[in-house]
Structure 1
Amino acid sequence: MAVDSTWTPLEISPHDVGCEAEPRALIDYVRGEPDLTDLLAREKAVVFRGFQATPDALPGVLDELLPDRLAYVHGNSPRTKVGQNVYTSTEYPPEFTISMHNELSYGHAWPSRLLFFCETAPETGGATPVVDGERWLESLDADVRDAFAGGVRYTQNLHSGRGLGKSWQDTFETDDRDAIEGFLGDSEAEWEWRKDGSLRVIQRRPATTEHPITGTRVWFNQADQWHAAGLGSETAAALARVIPADELPQSVTFADGSPIPDTYVEQIRDRGLELAVDVDWHAGDVLLIDNVLVGHGRRPFTGKRRVLVAMSS
């Protein structure tokens, strides 16, 4: 089946729906939408622009679009919790590109929807690129797709309070080891508490998945983000000189433990970014995406960019 090469997110403005440019109008519009799930499955991503949403209005918008918000438990990127299961978007330095990915695709379960809210637009850059996961999968060379057919193996090394990467306390939003073990047991993960107080977690996951409504098969893993080659050849070489691969905060192999070639990782990263459509931010914009059908990332920026994110099952 041919993949649509012209896909872009649906944009909805007050003019489009015949209402005033105010946050209350957005809440009323979403509340009146007969089936938001079908809309999102069909359009994959929706930008609500021009409604002048504000931080004060955000809880009401979230209650309509994400009625069962999830905590960012087992998340691997640095964030700050700013409300009831509302977080800052990834806090990597602004000069870096964040490659395309589906949130928590390395986990046993993942959110079905993500919502982004722009509180402060950057001076330049800072778009959130989004990519059609079906197009991304089809763009990969056949030998790359075949190599990933058996899935991937993710390894996390989470320190106990001081070290490289995130601590296990921050990652799981608790210091209760029993609670963490219960979560990991339910996730079909392997884990080991180490002598230095750190936690090692190993998970084997498929590289693709099917959307529960449309049946569309999409690229759905974070191999390129967990692989040192995804950081660039110079950074990868520097890391290799000082830290063994299996001691990095996160690393990835094929499911059988064999290494993933750097060239595969670079192809996955680069083609996802090449296919992506940029959502440029204006203060008050809201972006809602289907987290299975669409991957997302971040372009470099200057200025004070503040984009908040929430997710739901």
Structure 2
Amino acid sequence: MTHTQAWTPLEIETESIGGCEELVERITGMGEEFDKLLAAEKGLVFRGFGVTPADLDQVLDTLLPNRLAYVHGNSPRTKVGSNVYTSTEYPQEFTISMHNEMSYAHAWPSRLAFYCQVQPGSGGATPVVDAAVWLDSLDAEVREAFADGVRYVQNLHDGYGFGKSWQDTFETTSRAQVDAFLDRTGATWEWKADGGIRVSSLRPATTRHPVTGTEVWFNQSDQWHPAGLGDDTAGALAQILPEDELPQNVTFADGSPIPAEYVAQIRDRGLEHAVDVDWHSGDLLLIDNVLLAHGRRPFTGDRRVLVAMSD
């Protein structure tokens, strides 16, 4: 790693001929020191090891000892392996703004691993931002407005409609299993006459890292807010659906609206302070999901990045 005044993830390169075996041996050889390294560096990039799709399970078993399913996830993905998913399937010409994975949920993964199976033709970096820097970059007025947290609202259809179905979201076709899951989360919900479900969840806007104690910006208000869609898309949706029927929406904790200018500031300052991780086939990126938020830059070509997560 080249040390500069600005933070960047630590890059770890092969010391010999590379390969899955060297990477696994180096990680396992560090023992508990590996966990300390990740907490200190926030993100680790593994380059030159030439990890293949056939190697991926072994490497992920080492990096993420307890891989999690993407249950209650709100972004469109495809499950491609044992709790391995495509990264968010969003049109390649758009930027995906910064976010900590599942920060809207009652529980979230502590680690994320990204694997580049096919490098993009151009662009397509994964930007990462120090979530404490993101918090500090926001105006005091914005931070104070979010002091009581945010309320997320999901309208999940029964198979036909805008956004995700509840079956895809909860990876089940059983209403009883959905009820049991939500009962543990502190959310409120109602099954609707059309077979869909509306879920409302009150969550904090910031959190503290369990090891370092660092306070970080930790919510997805800008991604769930209609203003985050852009004027054209938000305007088109408003012609089709009332705000309380949108696939997802967010308000302040008391139900009052979040100003669009707050949303723009949150989105723009996260991207402004982000560091891009460029991809080559076989690369891996491991991040602490509390200390770092991530996103995606626009790209051309056939980019394929897979993601897995653990507690």
Cα distance in 2, alignment partners of residues 241 and 229 from structure 1: 15
Deviation at residue 5 of structure 1 after TM alignment? 6.5
- Compute the RMSD of aligned alpha carbons: 1.0
- Structure 1 unaligned blocks of 5 or more: none
Give deviations 1:66-103, integer Å, cap 9, x for gaps. Answer: 01000000000000000000000000111111000000
Match of 1:259 among 250, 257, 260: 257
Instruction: Give 1:70's aligned residue.
Output: 68
Give deviations 1:256-295, integer Å, cap 9, x for gaps. Answer: 0000000000000000011100000000000000000000
Instruction: Give 1:27's aligned residue.
Output: 24
- Alignment map for 1:89-128 (pairs within 5 Å): 89-128=87-126
Cα distance in 1, alignment partners of residues 5 and 254 from structure 2: 34
Asked if structure 2 preserves the Cα contact closer than 8 Å seen for 1:5 and 1:135, the reply is no
Deviation at residue 184 of structure 1 after TM alignment? 0.3
- Alignment map for 1:86-165 (pairs within 5 Å): 86-165=84-163
Cα distance in 2, alignment partners of residues 5 and 269 from structure 1: 24
- Alignment map for 1:36-75 (pairs within 5 Å): 36-75=34-73
Cα distance in 1, alignment partners of residues 97 and 5 from structure 2: 20
Deviation at residue 247 of structure 1 after TM alignment? 0.4
| Secondary structure in structure 2 of the residue aligned to 1:225 | helix
Code of the aligned partner of 1:51: F
Code of the aligned partner of 1:112: S
Match of 2:269 among 268, 271, 280: 271
| Secondary structure in structure 2 of the residue aligned to 1:297 | strand
Code of the aligned partner of 1:200: R
| Secondary structure in structure 2 of the residue aligned to 1:6 | coil
| Secondary structure in structure 2 of the residue aligned to 1:184 | helix
Instruction: Give 2:78's aligned residue.
Output: 80
Cα distance in 2, alignment partners of residues 76 and 235 from structure 1: 18
Code of the aligned partner of 1:52: G
Code of the aligned partner of 2:46: F
Cα distance in 2, alignment partners of residues 291 and 278 from structure 1: 16
Instruction: Give 1:227's aligned residue.
Output: 225
Code of the aligned partner of 1:121: Q
Code of the aligned partner of 1:73: V
Give deviations 1:114-137, integer Å, cap 9, x for gaps. Answer: 000000000011000000000000
Cα distance in 2, alignment partners of residues 206 and 259 from structure 1: 16
Asked if structure 2 preserves the Cα contact closer than 8 Å seen for 1:154 and 1:251, the reply is yes
Give deviations 1:17-47, integer Å, cap 9, x for gaps. Answer: x333212111111111132221111000000
Give aligned pairs, total.
Answer: 307
Code of the aligned partner of 2:11: E
Code of the aligned partner of 2:296: R
Instruction: Give 2:6's aligned residue.
Output: 6
Q: After TM superposition, what 4+ stretches of structure 1 lie above 3 angstroms from structure 2? A: none
Identity %: 68
Match of 1:186 among 173, 184, 203: 184
Asked if structure 2 preserves the Cα contact closer than 8 Å seen for 1:100 and 1:130, the reply is yes
| Secondary structure in structure 1 of the residue aligned to 2:115 | strand
2:292 aligned with 1:294: yes
Instruction: Give 1:196's aligned residue.
Output: 194
| Secondary structure in structure 2 of the residue aligned to 1:27 | helix
Asked if structure 2 preserves the Cα contact closer than 8 Å seen for 1:119 and 1:308, the reply is yes
Code of the aligned partner of 1:158: L
Cα distance in 2, alignment partners of residues 302 and 28 from structure 1: 35
| Secondary structure in structure 2 of the residue aligned to 1:204 | strand
Change (3 A) 1:5 1:175: farther
Deviation at residue 238 of structure 1 after TM alignment? 2.4
**TM-score (structure 2 length as normaliser):** 0.97
2:184 aligned with 1:177: no
- Structure 2 unaligned blocks of 5 or more: none
Instruction: Give 1:212's aligned residue.
Output: 210
Deviation at residue 244 of structure 1 after TM alignment? 1.0
Asked if structure 2 preserves the Cα contact closer than 8 Å seen for 1:106 and 1:221, the reply is yes
Code of the aligned partner of 2:237: L
Deviation at residue 235 of structure 1 after TM alignment? 2.0
